[in-house]
Amino acid sequence: MKLKIMEVRLISLVLLLLAPSLSYSACKWVWVDDDYDMTTPAVRKQVCDSTMDLPALKDPSLRPLQKPQIKPMESLDLPPLGTSSCRTQSVFENGRWVNKRICN
């Protein structure tokens, strides 16, 4: 009986410690114009804050209208751990197109 109570407490402790990381996923689906060309359509990509994040569910969304932009100069920073390369891409976020560093 004592062993069973200890097991339940241990499992509860583990779940309590993991709950914040399981309940929050920093991944999201966004529209990306990766070539800065209005004639090619934007594509949906899943973007995460970390390689350890859980995938997000793909919600229905309409492709936003693209606007002409000049491609910014690429950063010379090293890619974060768990990624191999990074590029600056135009991302549709909060109703407008913004430049973000996207890593693969």
Is the residue at 37 inside a domain? yes
pLDDT at 7 over 60: yes
Domain count, the chain: 1
- Is this structure's pTM higher than 0.75? no
| Domain presence at residue 70 | yes
The confidence score (pLDDT) of residue 50 equals 80
92: which 2 tokens?
């549709």
Tell me what pLDDT residue 56 has: 87
Burial level of 56, CB count in 10 A (0-12/13-18/19+)? Answer: middle
Q: Whole-angstrom Cα distance, residue 45 to residue 48?
A: 10
Q: Is residue 87 part of a domain?
A: yes
Q: Is residue 79 part of a domain?
A: yes
User: Which tens digit of pLDDT belongs to each residue from 12-41?
Assistant: 665 555 555 444 558 899 999 988 888 899
Q: Domain span at residue 63? A: 25-103
Residue 5 lies inside a defined structural domain of this protein: no
Let me know if residue 4 belongs to a domain. Answer: no
